[in-house]
Amino acid sequence: MLELLFLLLPVVAGYSWFMGRNSIKQNDQSAKQDLSIKYSKGLNYLLSNQQDKAIEYLLETLKVENDSVEAHFAMANLFRRRGELDRALKVHEHLVRHANLPAKDKQHAIFELGKDFLSAGLYDRAEKMFSKLLKSKRFGVKSLTYLLQIYQSTKDWQQGIDLKKVIIKSKDKKLLHSLANFYCELAIQACTKDEFILVIELLEQALTYDANSCRANFLMAEIYEDHQQYNEAAQCYKDIYQQDDDFFLDVIDKIEHCYLALNLQDDFFVFIKQVYDKTGSTSALIKYITYIEQKKGRGKAKEYMLITLKKRPTIRGFKHFIKMQIDEAGQGKQYESLDMMSKLIAAYLKEKPRYSCRNCGFNTSTHYWSCPSCHDWEQIKPVRGLEGE
Ligand SMILES: [Zn+2]
């Protein structure tokens, strides 16, 4: 009932405005009478749940003038929020069609119409609306955002890249970040065709538009690694560490592989110690413990592990500590109980998500470049805390 009353507000606002105007123009009695009849009919339709007929009357009654435009937008937005998209569309289309609507209101109506089409899944029509607003000061960046969202849904990466001039001009970091990911998507396509020079070119483009794109560096590192260019690969992985030390935790094994291939094991451990000191991450700790074990023996490694676990306990760290105990337990009851404990912890961790989206909190065991929930790019990163890193 409250919603119904809210729905009536625009009618009342328009009616009051019209009545007020009529009181100044006393000679406009016939319009007043006509309006009263339409108003009453509109109310009757609303009260008898015949909303489509009520809208027809409302649109006729509320002439689109400066004072009533906001009432139209409020009414249409209410319909959209209620999921009544056909009704929202009708009101917005009515505004767009209006010949004398001021330019700013017309742009607003086109923008809202685009959102209606998008909500209805009519991407081509939404695309048309948003494309009309690229030069708009108020709606330009917002329209670009929706356009990239559409091309992301339809995987039409080239269409998004075709907008690069306007995106660059906007200087909007989020849009540039999306543009970089569109280039990464094309790079992946080129990779499946073994067009490696093109892949590197596309990834360089991605980094030109967003120097913080971990994904571009990650893909580039993989290409170099596959071609045994370990120096270049290691440098790309190190760049990821500079860009985002949260995401970097997922590439520790890969960078280790490059350093070992280059016979730079000691350099790797110097580096990983720096990573551990900065991030306190369990993955970095486990790598560093392996080094201590090799250089100073298991006793020292266990000692160091225990001190760090007391300072910053994590379940993965505890699991590794048990593994170290198992390795020296030999056979017997102690081995069996440690082994069972290790298996129980492994089963527990298997149930826990490895990644979470930093933007919306979506949890997953699989890594995605675009969050399946909020569709933001490069926000899925290893979980931190007791059950994570
Ligand atoms: Zn998300």
Q: What are the structural domain ranges in the chain?
A: 264-351, 352-389
Going by C-alpha positions, the residue among 83, 90, 39 that lies closest to residue 61 is: 39
Cα(370) to centroid of ligand 1, in Å? 8
Residue 353 Cα, ligand 1 centroid: separation in angstroms? 14
Alpha-helical (H) ranges within 98-229 are 103-119, 123-131, 140-153, 157-161, 164-170, 173-192, 196-209, 214-226
CA 152 to centroid of ligand 1, rounded, Å: 15
Main-chain dihedrals φ then ψ at residue 383, nearest 5 degrees: -65, 140
Question: What's the maximum distance between 2 C-alpha atoms anywhere in the chain?
Answer: 106
CA distance to 143, 294, 297, 323, 333, per residue, from 330 (Å): 66, 20, 17, 12, 9
The encoded tokens of residue 240 equal 């990821």
Q: Are 148 and 160 in contact (CB under 8 A)?
A: yes
Instruction: Report the pLDDT value the prediction gives residue 328, as an integer from 0 to 100.
Output: 79
Q: Check residue 58 and give its pLDDT.
A: 67
SS3 134: coil
Closest CA to 126 of 154, 157, 99, 102: 154
Residue with tokens 């009181």: 23
Of 194, 190, 195, 166, nearest to 178 by C-alpha is 166
Pairwise CA distance, residues 330 & 352, whole Å: 30
CB 269 within 8 A of CB 288: yes
One pLDDT digit (tens) per residue for the chain, 389 residues: 344 444 544 444 444 444 444 444 555 566 556 656 666 666 676 666 676 777 776 666 656 565 678 878 888 888 888 888 888 999 899 889 887 888 999 999 999 999 999 999 999 999 999 999 999 999 999 999 999 999 999 999 999 999 999 999 999 999 999 999 999 999 999 999 999 999 999 999 999 999 999 999 999 999 999 999 999 999 999 999 999 999 999 999 999 999 999 999 999 999 999 999 999 999 999 999 999 999 899 889 999 999 999 988 999 999 999 988 888 777 778 888 888 989 999 998 888 899 999 999 999 999 999 999 999 999 999 998 888 88
Give CA separation, 206 vs 172, 365, 367, in Å: 15, 27, 20
Cα of 368 to ligand 1 centre, how many Å? Answer: 10
CA of 47 to the centre of ligand 1 (A): 42
Q: Do 173 and 195 contact (CB within 8 A), yes or no?
A: no
Please tell me the distance between residue 378's alpha carbon and the centre of ligand 1 in angstroms: 9
Query: What pLDDT shows up at residue 75?
Result: 82
Q: For residue 386, how far is its CA from the centre of ligand 1 (angstroms)?
A: 21
Ligand 1 centroid distance, CA of 319 (Å): 29
* Whether the Cβ atoms of residue 252 and residue 389 lie closer than 8 Å to each other: no
Residues surrounding ion ligand 1 at CB below 5 Å: 357, 359-360, 362, 371, 373-374
What span, in angstroms and rounded, lies between the C-alpha atoms of 75 and 64? 13
CA distance 261 to 231: 9
If you measure from the C-alpha of residue 369 to the centroid of ligand 1, how many angstroms do you get, rounded to a whole number?
A: 10
Give the predicted TM-score (pTM) of the model: 0.81
Residues 351 and 215: beta-carbon distance below 8 Å: no
Q: How far is the CA of 170 from the centre of ligand 1 (A)?
A: 24
Q: Please tell me the predicted confidence (pLDDT) of residue 76.
A: 86
Secondary structure E strands in 201-303? none
Ligand 1 centre to CA of 241 (Å) is 22
In angstroms, rounded to a whole number, what is the distance separating the alpha carbons of residues 359 and 375? 10
CB proximity list for 223: less than 8 A, separation 6 or greater: 191, 196, 199, 200, 203
